[in-house]
Amino acid sequence: MTLKSTNTQRIKTEAKRLGFLSCGISKAQFLEKEAPRLENWLRHNMQGEMQYMENHFDKRLDPTKLVDDAKSVVSLLLNYFPSEVQIENTYNISKYAYGTDYHFVIKDKLKQLLQYISEEIGEVGGRAFVDSAPVLDKAWAAKSGLGWIGKNSNLLTQQVGSFYFIAEVIIDLELEYDNPVTDHCGTCSACIDACPTQAIVQPYIVDGSKCISYFTIELKNEIPNHVKGQFEDWMFGCDICQDVCPWNKFSKAHNEPLFQPNAQLLSMSKKDWEEITEDVFLKIFQKSPVKRTKYQGLKRNVNFLKD
C-alpha cells in the first residue's frame, strides 16, 4: 500500500467516524466543463438578485485560487433527512432547515477533519468550505464519484437520494482520486413536471430566479404577484423536486442530534404560523437557517401564501 493510498484511506475513515455519509476525492484542477455552463447561466440572469453568484468567477472554477498549491478536493456529504416531518396542511419549511444551521454543524466537523490530517499525516495546508465561499460543491462532489447531478440540478445518489449537505476540504496533499459515476435519471422527468414555478427550464438547468427557494429566502423585496398561488404552501425553501425524485425512496433518517427539529415546529398549523410572534419565532428558530429571513421575512412569506 502506497503512502498516498494510506493517507486517502485514513481521511475517508475519519470522515466516516465524524458522521459524514460519504467522502470522495478529486484532483484540484480547473473545472473546464463547468466554466461555459456557469457563464451561460449568469448571462441569462438565472441568479436573479443573488449577486454573490457573479463574484469570484475564477475562484469558483479553480481551487488553486482558493488554496495555494491545492492538490486535492475532498468532498463530503452529510445526511439531513428527518425521521419526522411537519403536519399535513400547514405552511412548509424545507427539511434542511428543521434543526441547527448546518454551517455551524459541518464547519465544526471539517475543523476536526483538518486537525486529524495535520496530526496524523503531517503539516498539510488547507481550507474547509461549507456553502459560504465560491466553490461549486455539486460539481466537485460529482467529480469525486459521490453521485451525479440530476435534472433538478441536485446531486443524486442511487443509495441515499439527495437529502444531504455537501462540503469540502481543499488541501495541498496529493491523494488517490475517485472516478465520476454515471447518470441514472434516464427518461424520468418527475422533478420537471412537479415544479410549480417551472424553474427547471430544461433538464439539468434550473433558473434560480424562478425557484420557490429563491423567492422565500434570497429575495429581499416583495414577492412578485405573477407567482401568486404557485408556491404550494412553501414558506421557506422548497423540497418539491426532491420529494418527487424516485431516488429519494432510499433516503434514511439522519442520526445527527443537532439536526433534530424543535418539536413545536412540526406541530404548528397554518393558523399558528399566521399568528406567530417574534418571541416564538426566535425560540423555534434560535439556531436555525430560517433566521436568515428574519421574523419580518417569514411573515412576508406567510402573508403572501395566505392572501
Q: How confident is the model at residue 43 (pLDDT cuts 50, 70, 90)?
A: confident
Range 32-50 average pLDDT: 72
Write the secondary structure of 163-195 as one string of H (helix), E (strand) and C (coil): CEEEEEEEECCCCCCCCCCCCCCCCCCHHHHHC
**How many other C-beta atoms lie within 10 A of the C-beta of residue 298?**
23
pLDDT of residue 37: 80
Q: What local confidence, expressed as pLDDT, does residue 55 receive?
A: 59
Cell of 187: 427518461
pLDDT in tens, 141-169: 999 999 999 999 999 999 999 999 999 99
The yes-or-no verdict on residue 236 having pLDDT over 90 is: yes
The answer to whether 163 and 212 are in contact (CB under 8 A) is: no
From residue 39, alpha-carbon distances to 34, 44, 57, 257 in Å are 8, 9, 9, 39
Question: 272 an active-site residue?
Answer: no
Cα-atom radius of gyration of the chain, to the nearest Å?
20
| Segment 18-29 mean pLDDT | 98
pLDDT value for 287: 92
Please tell me the predicted confidence (pLDDT) of residue 54: 56
Chain mean pLDDT for the chain: 93
Of 161, 145, 195, 190, nearest to 81 (Cα)?
A: 161
Q: Is pLDDT at 52 greater than 60 in this prediction?
A: no
Q: 151-176 b/e with 16+ CB inside 10 Å = b?
A: bbbbbbbeebbbbbbbbbbbbbbebe
pLDDT at 56 over 70: no
pLDDT in tens, 88-145: 999 999 999 999 999 999 999 999 999 999 999 999 999 999 987 778 899 999 999 9
Predicted pLDDT at 39: 72
Q: If pLDDT is split at 50, 70 and 90, which confidence band does 51 have?
A: low
Q: Quick: pLDDT tens for 266-279.
A: 999 999 999 999 99
The arithmetic mean of pLDDT across residues 26-54, rounded, is 75
Which pLDDT score is estimated for 95? 98
- Catalytic pick among 131, 172, 243, 272: 131
Q: What is the pTM of this model?
A: 0.94
- Give percent of the chain with pLDDT exceeding 90: 85
Residue with cell 392572501: 307
